[in-house]
Amino acid sequence: MRKNNIQEVILLDNGDILQGEPVVYFSNYMDTASIHVCAAAMNFMEYDAATVGNHDIEAGHDYSYGGQLKDEPGNENGSLLVAEQVPGFDVIFIGHDHDILLDSLINSAGETVYIVDPGSHARYAGVADVFLKFDHRRGKYDKKIFLELVDVSEYDPDPEFLDHLLKLELNDQGEPVRSGPGSAARLSGRYYNFDSAAGINYVVDVSKPVGERITITTFTNGSPFEEGKRERQKDPFSV
């Protein structure tokens, strides 16, 4: 798309990318000296801007999320409220609720605002094609806006992206190896999400033999951990 010199492409990310994936955990806590995998991916794809999500602040299109009322202070799903009540927006890209939505509404100034929600986990790319034509008589631009959700699974991944950034495990045909149907592709260097046991602080070293990979340091409340000793916690465990 960027090779088409008659258009400008603006690539945006809507946040919630710094939590929940093992490879991101590795960049967050294990290999903190290298460029973060998210930064490397966004630099490779030449993103123009990104917002910060609640997982990195909330946004969504259903203001009643979690039983909240429309005028409740701190409403975390106020995207439609912003579209309705704050003039000046042509297109609003929203997220947080993991829903898929293409819609439009009329704001308080009588203007059309377009809404794009591409869901989650990069399964879809939300696209807004904006066509501008300057009206010299009125001294302003006329706008035509068309929305689209692009199914990312219909496109082959970029070989350079796979080889130099994610370093996926490939089969003899050069295709990513998956653990099972519909599962994520496996990395050539396995990274694990270590936040899977509540109540204890521990380290996993996959380079050690099986049975010696996990070292428990303390309980999360700060008390020492003694192997073989049972201890009842007064407070609920927390990760």
Determine what percent of the chain is predicted with pLDDT higher than 90. 24
Mean pLDDT, the chain, as a whole number? 79
Q: According to the model, what pLDDT value does residue 61 have? A: 53
Between 83 and 24, name the one with better pLDDT. 83
Rounded distance between C-alpha atoms, residue 40 and residue 201, angstroms: 29
pLDDT category of residue 171 using cuts at 50, 70 and 90: confident
pTM, two decimals, is 0.64
Is 34 exposed, middle or buried (CB count within 10 Å of its CB: 0-12, 13-18, 19+)? exposed
Residue 114, Cβ density class (10 Å: 0-12 exposed, 13-18 middle, ≥19 buried):
buried
Domain ranges of the chain: 12-154, 195-239
Answer for the pair 144, 151: CB distance below 8 angstroms, yes or no: no
Q: Is residue 32's pLDDT more than 80?
A: yes
Look up residue 235 and give its two tokens.
């407070």
- Tokens 């033999």, residue located: 209
Q: Taking 90 as the threshold, does the pLDDT of residue 237 lie above it?
A: no
Confidence class of residue 145 from pLDDT cuts 50, 70 and 90?
Answer: very high
Task: Give residue-wise pLDDT tens across range 88-117.
Answer: 999 999 877 788 999 999 999 999 999 999
Give yes or no for a contact between 129 and 116, defined as CB atoms under 8 angstroms apart. no
